[in-house]
Amino acid sequence: MLLNLFKFKGGVKPPTNKTQSVGLPIAQAPLPSKLVVPLHQSIGGTPRPVVQAGDQVLKGQLIGEADGWISAAVHAPTSGTVVEVAMHTQAHPSGLDALCVVIAPDGKDEWIARETVDYRSLTPEEVRERLQQAGVVGLGGAVFPTHGKLTPAKTVPMDELVINGAECEPFITCDDLLMRERAEEVVRGIGIFRDLLRPKKVLIGIEDNKPEAAAAMKAAVDALGEPFLVVQVPTLYPAGGAKQLIRVLTGKEVPASKRSTDLGVQCFNVATAYTAWRAIAHGEPVVSRLVTLTGNVAEPRNYEVLIGTPMDELLKLAQPHPDTDGIVMGGPMMGFLVPQPSVPVVKATNCLIAHSERLFPPKAPEMPCIRCGSCAQACPHELQPFEMYWFARAKNFGKTQEYKIFDCIECGCCSFVCPSRIPLVQYFRFAKSEIWAREREKNAADQAKARFEFKQLRDEREKAEKAEKLAKAAAAQAAKKAAEAAAAAPATDGAAPVAATPAVDVEKDAKKAAIEAAMARAKAQREAAQPKNTEALTPEQQRVAAEIEARRVAAHLIDPEPAAPPAGEKAE
Amino acid sequence: MMFAPAPFLLKDVSVSQVMTQVCLALIPGIAAYAWLVGPAILVQLAIASATALLAEAAMLRLQGKPLALFLSDGSAVVTAWLIALTFPPLAPWWLVVTGTVFAIVIAKQLYGGLGQNPFNPAMVAFAVCIVAFPALMSQWPSVGLQLSLKEQLDIILGIAPRVDALSGATPLDAMKTALKLGDGGIDVAQLLANQDIFGNFAGRGWEWVAAGYLLGGLWLWQRKLITWHVPVAFIGALVAISGALWLYNPAQFANPLFHLFSGGAMLGAFFIATDPVSGCTTPRGKLIFGAGAGLLAYIIRVFGGYPDGVAFAVLLMNLCVPVIDLLTQPPIFGMKDKS
């Protein structure tokens, strides 16, 4: 069966550097001395830790539970003892810390009881829940929780399921080796996705520089009698970007403002399909992944690595050369230098490249943009990077948005071809983060403004009510006096005959005033007696609240509540 | 910890590589030029290059910018070469120096230097000099004038008198003047056949210089340093308007081939209108820019007061670049149906 392929505009052809690491089969990385497992390893929420220091855990045991729909569980990668649940530096360019579960392996690598089920006996909801519980996330790099992508759009029929085995980034070969060695399980995993999404076609895209992987996948597809199409796509970075692969295989262009399911197509990485199969059919949550060790090393190779393995310890397996001066996580086009060599491997870690100046020479100094347009020709999203650069540099972020900066996938093609060696992607990341920051600030300011306006409104209302009350009280007082005067009037009968007729009115007024005064008093009493929301609680509720308060104080989350409110707060 | 953002792999390209290749692409045209008028053009190229580098160095120093980095980018040399190639080859040295200094100091560095100039610096130099020194800018060596390097140097340096023998006209000028003087009584075909200044299809000798530029321009396109848009639109527009008028009255209007291979048309189409800094950047914008420059060049050279119109045409189109670019933004990936 032949498929008509489409082209995407732009793209570049960097040297692939893949042959170094495909010579040897996948090896199992030995147990490291400790495992530092970050809880936040996917897009979405941060799983809650469910273990504490001192707990014994088994391999595959839940250590962090998903805290929402877009969140995926985290598991112990091996059996051992939880040393601590604490903040550690992450494999992220920011170098920020995040909450991790640190496990000292006991060396037994003892699994939890694994349940094997036939997924066909499960409802789609059950399959999705199991995938979430098993921590299955997109292993192509985006780590989006997989179960969140397995619901077809209600209005659009699902035409194509695209499986991404393109692996377009130079140096990385973990998907290549996975397809070569474990094609059958990948294809079985794709079968799960197919059964949940029910697409008309399943297209497996593999760049044509990986004929062995394509052949293995084809053989597995045939052996399992699946109607999947294994398609070799031209090697052109970034053909492995989800949007580019969808374009090449289906001709559809997914803009940044839409989900691919809105266009009747969904895309998963081959490694995600593999882990989905292991999770569903073998009851094995995601506790390890394939990582390519390459770059400035003597023995480049792919390893099956436990999540949480410190990178420096792992990279030693590939024997880095002495002039190695850093570790790049990911490929040379989109990867980043990790802030510390000891940061742990996470689910997004597909490749570690030993960095050296020999391998990646320092960049020549940045020159002014000459508007040559090479970047625009290379941009796979058909943006005008030099215009966005111009406005990002001028901090004219509104203009960068007019030039669709949020459609930029940061693939690095523009920086790659720039003759002025301008780090364009850096400028775009800067502009995006500034725009996000400003949006957050604006939201905060809007909220503050709303709060302030409401407070003003309330103050005015209270003032008006007070004034009304005073006026009524004064009226009542006056009426009382008038009534007294009226009562005294008959005693001096005849002295003021003309006063007799108004006296009836005065009496009436006095009555009215008295009623009103009584009503005002009742209202004031009611208001004074209005209970706070913390009052009128049952003793049980009060006890719980007090305990919570005590814990919060103990954890230094809040200051202990002062006995009397500080002077400043009494102003009103 | 060091900081180096991705991508870690970079294509082996640089501004100086780009500029060097532009200079290389000019060599076939320069070779034909030197064959036609002798070594004078090489002298002018040297004078312009030295002046450009000195002026650039002085301006960089005033701005506190790194000298070596910016002098080696090659952009000043490209400007210098375009000035030398558009000025009369036996122009006095100070005219070339004045034009080059004006180009580098005013048209380029005062606007912010490399990448910031809205107007093509070489064309600014040409326009300034033809307005300020019209006589000197119109003195072209007569056809068949054979002078030694010494004689040419003497003229350029002002040691020898500027004899009448070298105050020839360009083929375009000759055609225009003859048609004007003939006042309808002269036929273009007759002129081309009888006058010594005209060669096989355009100016004698000059047609091969233009062919040299065409060759170099095609090489630039093949090397992907320029896209096809500007040259094709420029040449297309020039051929369209000259062809239409030639078909309308072949006696009074020269054929498209003559116009293509005369004056600055080829140099303009491949080397001047393609300047990325002062030109349009979007594909449709480049088409408009090229076509506009080609049309204006024809109108100015045929109906205007100057013998050639490429410089003014390019400068006028430079003015329109921001608007053209703004209005011709291409739709992006995934947004093609809506717009």
In a domain, B10, yes or no: no
Rounded to 5, what percent of chain A is helix, strand, coil? 40, 15, 40
pLDDT in the model for residue A559: 52
Angle at A136 between CA A342 and CA A248, to 5 degrees: 100
Q: Does A256 touch chain B (CB under 8 A)?
A: yes
Q: Are B72 and B89 in contact (CB under 8 A)?
A: no
What integer is the mean pLDDT of B216-228?
A: 96
Say which residue the tokens 């659009």 belong to: A156
Mean of pLDDT over chain A = 89
pLDDT in the model for residue A563: 44
DSSP label of B103: I
Which chain A residues are Cβ-neighbours of B5 within 8 angstroms?
336, 423, 425-426
Q: Are B95 and B136 in contact (CB under 8 A)?
A: yes
What integer is the mean pLDDT of B173-178?
A: 82
In a domain, B337, yes or no: no
Count of beta carbons in the 10 Å neighbourhood of residue B203: 27
Which chain A residues are Cβ-neighbours of B279 within 8 angstroms?
371
DSSP label of A310: B
Domain range for B131 is 15-168
| Residues 6+ away with beta carbon under 8 Å from B59 | B104, B105, B109, B113
In a domain, A72, yes or no: no
B63: pLDDT strictly greater than 50: yes
Tens of pLDDT, residues B22-48: 999 999 999 999 999 889 999 999 999
Task: Return the minimum-mean-pLDDT range out of A36-45, A527-536, B310-319.
Answer: A527-536
pLDDT in the model for residue A569: 42
CB contact under 8 A, B11 and A420: no
B278: pLDDT strictly greater than 80: yes
| ipTM field | 0.90
Give the domain-ending residue among B168, B194, B211.
B168
pLDDT in the model for residue A484: 84
The model's confidence at residue A562, banded by pLDDT at 50, 70 and 90, is very low
In whole angstroms, how large is the CA radius of gyration of chain B? Answer: 21
Judgement on whether residues B284 and B194 belong to the same structural domain of the protein: yes
Which chain B residues are Cβ-neighbours of A333 within 8 angstroms?
6-9
Task: Return the minimum-mean-pLDDT range out of A328-342, A379-393, B187-201.
Answer: B187-201
pLDDT in the model for residue B172: 85
Indicate the residue type of A54: G
| Residues 6+ away with beta carbon under 8 Å from B226 | B217, B220, B270, B274
Judgement on whether residues B291 and B189 belong to the same structural domain of the protein: yes
What integer is the mean pLDDT of B154-168?
A: 77
The model's confidence at residue A423, banded by pLDDT at 50, 70 and 90, is very high
- % of chain A surpassing 70 pLDDT: 90
Say which residue the tokens 């024809």 belong to: B298
Q: Does A341 touch chain B (CB under 8 A)?
A: no
Count of beta carbons in the 10 Å neighbourhood of residue A520: 18
pLDDT in the model for residue A434: 92
3-state secondary structure of A52: coil
- % of chain B surpassing 90 pLDDT: 71
Tens of pLDDT, residues B181-219: 777 677 888 778 777 778 777 788 899 999 999 999 999
Judgement on whether residues B164 and B188 belong to the same structural domain of the protein: no
Judgement on whether residues B134 and B280 belong to the same structural domain of the protein: no
What integer is the mean pLDDT of A512-541?
A: 71
In a domain, A9, yes or no: no
Q: Between A177 and B151, where is the model more confident?
A: A177
Q: Between B197 and B95, where is the model more confident?
A: B95
In a domain, B200, yes or no: yes
What integer is the mean pLDDT of A372-398?
A: 95
Closest-CA distance, B334 to chain A, in angstroms, reads 4
Closest-CA distance, B238 to chain A, in angstroms, reads 25
Which chain A residues are Cβ-neighbours of B8 within 8 angstroms?
328, 332-333, 335, 353, 355, 360
pLDDT in the model for residue B5: 83
Tens of pLDDT, residues A360-380: 998 889 999 999 999 999 999
The model's confidence at residue B3, banded by pLDDT at 50, 70 and 90, is low
Q: Does A7 touch chain B (CB under 8 A)?
A: no
Backbone angles phi, psi at A512, to 5 degrees: -60, -45
A566: pLDDT strictly greater than 80: no
Is the N-terminal amide bond of A300 cis, ω within 30° of 0? Answer: no
Q: Which of B228, B278, B289 has its CA nearest to residue B123?
A: B278
Q: In sequence order, what are the beta bridge partners of B246?
A: none
CB contact under 8 A, B281 and A384: yes
Judgement on whether residues B202 and B271 belong to the same structural domain of the protein: yes
In a domain, A467, yes or no: no
In a domain, B9, yes or no: no
pLDDT in the model for residue A553: 64
Interface of B with A (CB under 8 A): 1-11, 13-15, 17-18, 66, 69, 73, 75, 112-116, 227, 276-277, 279, 281-282, 329-336
In a domain, B336, yes or no: no
What integer is the mean pLDDT of A94-112?
A: 93
Q: Are B108 and B117 in contact (CB under 8 A)?
A: yes
Cα A547 versus chain centre, distance: 32
Number of cross-chain residue pairs from A and B with Cβ atoms under 8 Å apart:
140
CB contact under 8 A, A336 and B116: no
Tens of pLDDT, residues B109-118: 999 999 999 9
B78: pLDDT strictly greater than 70: yes
In a domain, B160, yes or no: yes
SS (H, E, C) A371-440: CCCHHHHHCCCCCCHHHHHHHHHCCCHHHHHHCCHHHCCCCCHHHHHCCCCCCHHHHHHHHHHHHHHHHH
Q: What is the DSSP string of B196-251?
A: TTB-SSSBTTHHHHHHHHHHHHHHHHHTTSS-SHHHHHHHHHHHHHHHHHHHH-TT
In a domain, A43, yes or no: no
Give the domain-ending residue among B107, B133, B168.
B168
A570: pLDDT strictly greater than 50: no
Tens of pLDDT, residues A185-216: 999 999 999 999 999 999 999 999 999 999 99
pLDDT in the model for residue B205: 85
B72: pLDDT strictly greater than 90: yes
Give the domain-ending residue among B116, B133, B168.
B168
Is the N-terminal amide bond of B88 cis, ω within 30° of 0? Answer: no
For residue A287, the domain's CATH number is 3.40.50.11540
pLDDT in the model for residue B338: 53
Count of beta carbons in the 10 Å neighbourhood of residue A390: 18
A177: pLDDT strictly greater than 90: yes
3-state secondary structure of A56: strand
Cα A406 versus chain centre, distance: 17
In a domain, A179, yes or no: yes
What integer is the mean pLDDT of A37-52?
A: 93
Backbone angles phi, psi at A305, to 5 degrees: -120, 135
In a domain, A377, yes or no: no
CA-based torsion, A486, A488, A491, A493: positive or negative:
negative
Indicate which of A89, A340, A420 best probes the interface with B, i.e. most B CBs within 10 Å of its own CB: A420
Q: Does A399 touch chain B (CB under 8 A)?
A: no
pTM: 0.82
What integer is the mean pLDDT of B73-84?
A: 96
The model's confidence at residue A327, banded by pLDDT at 50, 70 and 90, is very high
Q: Does A384 touch chain B (CB under 8 A)?
A: yes
The model's confidence at residue A555, banded by pLDDT at 50, 70 and 90, is low
Q: Does A426 touch chain B (CB under 8 A)?
A: yes
Judgement on whether residues B137 and B187 belong to the same structural domain of the protein: no
- The number of distinct structural domains making up chain B is 2
Q: How far apart are the two ends of chain B, measured CA to CA in Å?
A: 46
Q: Are B56 and B6 in contact (CB under 8 A)?
A: no
- The number of distinct structural domains making up chain A is 1
Domain range for A277 is 19-31+130-329
Judgement on whether residues B186 and B263 belong to the same structural domain of the protein: yes
Q: What is the DSSP string of A215-279?
A: HHHHHHHHHTT---EEEEE---BTTTSHHHHHHHHH-----TTS-GGGGTEEEEEHHHHHHHHHH
Task: Return the minimum-mean-pLDDT range out of A68-82, B160-174, B254-268.
Answer: B160-174
Q: Between A567 and B82, where is the model more confident?
A: B82
Q: Are B41 and B33 in contact (CB under 8 A)?
A: yes
In a domain, A480, yes or no: no
Judgement on whether residues B321 and B175 belong to the same structural domain of the protein: yes
A502: pLDDT strictly greater than 60: no
Tens of pLDDT, residues A17-36: 999 999 999 999 999 999 99
